[in-house]
Structure 1
Amino acid sequence: MSETAAPAQKRKPVPRGLARTGPVILSYGFRPFFLAAGIWAVLAMGLWIGALIFGWPIGGSYGGAYWHAHEMLFGYSTAALAGFLLTAVPNWTGRLPVSGLPLAILFLAWLVGRLALLAPDLVGLPVAIALDIAFLPLLLGICLREVIAGRKWKDLKVMAAVGALAIANALFHGVILWGGDVALADRAAVSAFIMLIGIIGGRVVPSFTRNWLAKRHVIALPAPYALFDTATLLVTLAALACWTLLPVSPLTVILCALAGLLNAWRLFRWRGWQTGAEALVLVLHVAYGFVPLGLLSVALSAAGWLDPMAALHVLTVGAIGTMTLAIMSRATRGHTGVPLTASPLTAASYACVALAALIRLAVGPLPDLATELLAVAGTLWMLAFLLYTLEHAPLLLTRRRDRPE
């Protein structure tokens, strides 16, 4: 009697994402990165204020001022960006999100960079820089793989902005090692973030506003995406590129002023004044409002009428800080099953970060009060993210619900 071998059973692939075992914090990308962003926003600013007041030797041979600039742009902001992308990309592509061990490895890459740069001389400055550089290319590789696999070609422009951030980070470090103008890398990174806000904010701000207004049977809704939006983004890209390379050029004045006006009109078309009853929606308009304000401030700076650092901080603290806080709080609530309405603590955190940006802008026109204004702005920044962390950490750590309302 002959024997026939039983057909081999086909193995099912092990799915990625939405892990139901293991720590809740590793079940979805927004969880560890939003929590870390909130904590690091407080700690990094606190360390910088301590360095200014008490002479704390943060950053070692990297330099305290450079460390502060780097950690706000490439420490805090990239953590918030990673949390958003690891949550949004699966929604764009329909593929499962990264979770579990791969997520832990990616988060560890971010964390190692923060620790290495805090005291770079313990391992040597080149090694500390190499450890920090690894995170953004790794994040880009993960997200790019998902976008290509999902054939979402329109989202490649988002990946391009992330790639620009990775290049700006390497450039920033290169200037520290070999000398040069660190401000160029600084402006390049800020420009990449502002383009991300223009692209992604142009989706989420009118979309969330439209949904909120429609539920209340409001007839006048935000204008849909049109050729005007594309033109605005292209002019903004040109303006930011010119500012990055030629910060005091007359062309920068013209392009940034034009981009500021176009973005102001774009924001007006989204009808944010109708959302005053819900801070969770209104803050998106406030955050985007810092984009035209920042671009106009850059134009004034390029013309010699405003302190360049004041203009820069309208974009960093105002646009980047307020938008990331708005997205972090909304996504945390939506993905953990908490009603999509701002609590008093959440509304207070929004007010603190927006006020911090406005006070930082006042440093230029009021140089005699610079120390006091910087201290108030820094304190408000820390308070904003402390409030976010205290309110949302329990949701990120324990509440297991990963489908937004």
Structure 2
Amino acid sequence: MQLAKHPLWLAGFRPFFTLACLAGMILPVAWALIFSGRLPAPANTFTPTQWHAHEMFFGFGWAVLGGFLLTSTKNWVNIRGYHGPALMLLAAAWLFERLGMSAGGDWPRALFLLSNNAFLGCISAMLMWTLIRHRARDSYRDNAFFLVILPAFLVAKYLMLNGDNFTAGYSMSMGLFRLAFLVMLERTLTGFMKAAFQIQILRHPKLDMAIKLLGLILVMEMALPRPLTAALSLALAVLLGIRFVFWKPQLAARRIDIGIMYVGYLAIVGQLLIEALGHVVDFVWIGSVSVHLFTFGAMGCVIPGMLIRISKGHTGRKVVFDTLDKATLYIMLGALALRIVLPQLYPALYLLWIQLAAACWFACYAILAIHHVPALLQPRIDGKEH
């Protein structure tokens, strides 16, 4: 099939980072319009809030995570990754899921379930098969965490869309993404800081493992007693804070491309502290601060920089952040302030802050799409196949 040989299907990051840019442009703006009453809710059996949470985690979030893992796993075990028809089927399944979530209210139950689970079920199985089959040459022993969290995403998705279990579902989804981000930041920032400043940041095996184990336990926080959840969240925040001090943040702040990842790291710490505080103190924040500090702070700040790095590096280009690249990062920092900080200061303008934050997401991913998707549609410029 000639289409399967198109450069778009050479590696996992190419189609899924393209889809992530589209989702980053469309989904937040659609939610802002739905929330403000200017757009009808999607034609499905779920509440608008369920749709919004699901699409940001399992639509946008999994386009990014899927592209990252499809690309990284092949490097971790040193094989040729999934490409061609396999990627085409996965991308089609992702699009089928978006269609089902927006217009599947009248579909037969079996057809909707197929649309809602085909992508995540297939990509999770494919990634797990890669890690299990080639375990002997895996560069990272802690990839065992992915063997646990990948199938757990299916449970979180089910809970999120299952009526009274919505809160448990988005809590579990956030916990799974948080653990994935902790693993990713641990690996990538070590290399980024070494390349940028010729330094080694603190990597202590026992500390790193304790952080990941606490993150794994907190995936199931909805099933734990509230005092225990508070204690575990506080413990993880403290360990992350201690490690942060030894990760040279004063150097990272000199470069926006690295510094913004440290902002994402701190957003995880802040989200954990809010979770711990929320279990013991009855304090009212405006606008679901805990979950949005994670989505805007960790996901919102880290993802654009990672998309830029991978899109440039894996298409044979030099990984240098130009003016437009840096602009996207500052835009997302603005989105973080608009969604988290300003609603606490001026709650009467809450709807405006949501609309402006959505506009920032659109601007960021529109720039990324215009600036980087053309490279994803072309062969590598260094002559390598993939």
Report the Cα distance in structure 1 between the residues aligned to 2:3 and 2:258, rounded to whole angstroms.
31
Cross-structure match for 1:295: 272
Q: Which residue identity lines up with residue 352 of structure 2 in the other structure?
A: E
- Native 8 Å contact 2:32 2:354 kept in 1: no
1:245 to 223, 227, 239: 223
Helix, strand or coil at the partner of 1:398 = coil
Find out whether 1:136 has 2:120 as its counterpart: yes
- Structure 1 residue 52 displacement after superposition: 2.5
Which 5+ residue runs of structure 2 have no aligned equivalent?
Answer: none
Cross-structure match for 1:309: 288
Report the Cα distance in structure 2 between the residues aligned to 1:125 and 1:273, rounded to whole angstroms.
54
- Structure 1 residue 20 displacement after superposition: 11
Cross-structure match for 1:160: 148
Greater shift in the superposed pair: 154-163 or 299-308: 299-308
Superposition TM-score, scaled by structure 1 size = 0.86
Find out whether 1:268 has 2:245 as its counterpart: yes
Q: CA RMSD in A?
A: 2.4
- Structure 1 residue 103 displacement after superposition: 1.0
Helix, strand or coil at the partner of 1:58 = coil
1:356 to 335, 351, 363: 335
- Structure 1 residue 292 displacement after superposition: 0.6
Q: Which residue identity lines up with residue 254 of structure 1 in the other structure?
A: A
Q: Which has the greater radius of gyration?
A: 1
- Native 8 Å contact 2:13 2:68 kept in 1: yes
Helix, strand or coil at the partner of 1:349 = helix
* 1:63-102 pair list within 5 angstroms: 63-102=47-86
Residues 61/250 of structure 1: CA separation in 2 closer, same or farther (3 Å cut): same
Greater shift in the superposed pair: 132-141 or 115-124: 115-124
* 1:210-229 pair list within 5 angstroms: 210-214=194-198, 220-229=199-208
Cross-structure match for 1:4: none
Helix, strand or coil at the partner of 1:42 = helix
- Structure 1 residue 350 displacement after superposition: 1.4
Greater shift in the superposed pair: 82-91 or 346-355: 346-355
1:390 to 367, 370, 374: 370
- Structure 1 residue 315 displacement after superposition: 1.0
Which 5+ residue runs of structure 1 have no aligned equivalent?
Answer: 1-18, 215-219
Find out whether 1:284 has 2:261 as its counterpart: yes
- Structure 1 residue 124 displacement after superposition: 4.0
- Native 8 Å contact 2:4 2:88 kept in 1: no
Report the Cα distance in structure 2 between the residues aligned to 1:288 and 1:42, rounded to whole angstroms.
24
- Structure 1 residue 126 displacement after superposition: 5.3
Report the Cα distance in structure 2 between the residues aligned to 1:329 and 1:398, rounded to whole angstroms.
16
Greater shift in the superposed pair: 201-210 or 83-92: 201-210
Q: Which residue identity lines up with residue 156 of structure 1 in the other structure?
A: A
- Structure 1 residue 399 displacement after superposition: 4.0
1:127 to 111, 114, 132: 111
Residues 138/68 of structure 1: CA separation in 2 closer, same or farther (3 Å cut): same
Cross-structure match for 1:369: 349
With a CA cutoff of 8 Å and minimum separation of 6, indicate the structure with the bigger relative contact order. 2
Cross-structure match for 1:46: 29
- Native 8 Å contact 2:44 2:104 kept in 1: yes
- Native 8 Å contact 1:35 1:393 kept in 2: yes
Superposition TM-score, scaled by structure 2 size = 0.90
- Structure 1 residue 279 displacement after superposition: 2.7
Cross-structure match for 1:258: 235
- Structure 1 residue 271 displacement after superposition: 1.4
Report the Cα distance in structure 1 between the residues aligned to 2:130 and 2:164, rounded to whole angstroms.
36
Report the Cα distance in structure 1 between the residues aligned to 2:272 and 2:81, rounded to whole angstroms.
35
Report the Cα distance in structure 2 between the residues aligned to 1:221 and 1:306, rounded to whole angstroms.
41
Over the matched positions of the two proteins, sequence identity in percent amounts to: 24
Per-residue Cα deviation, 1:88-127 (whole angstroms, up to 9, x for no partner): 0011001111111111011111111011111113524653
- Structure 1 residue 141 displacement after superposition: 1.1
Helix, strand or coil at the partner of 1:273 = helix
Q: Which residue identity lines up with residue 145 of structure 2 in the other structure?
A: K
Number of residue pairs the alignment of both structures matches: 376
- Structure 1 residue 329 displacement after superposition: 1.4
- Native 8 Å contact 2:211 2:240 kept in 1: yes
Cross-structure match for 1:11: none
- Structure 1 residue 82 displacement after superposition: 0.6
Residues 332/191 of structure 1: CA separation in 2 closer, same or farther (3 Å cut): same
Q: Which residue identity lines up with residue 25 of structure 1 in the other structure?
A: L
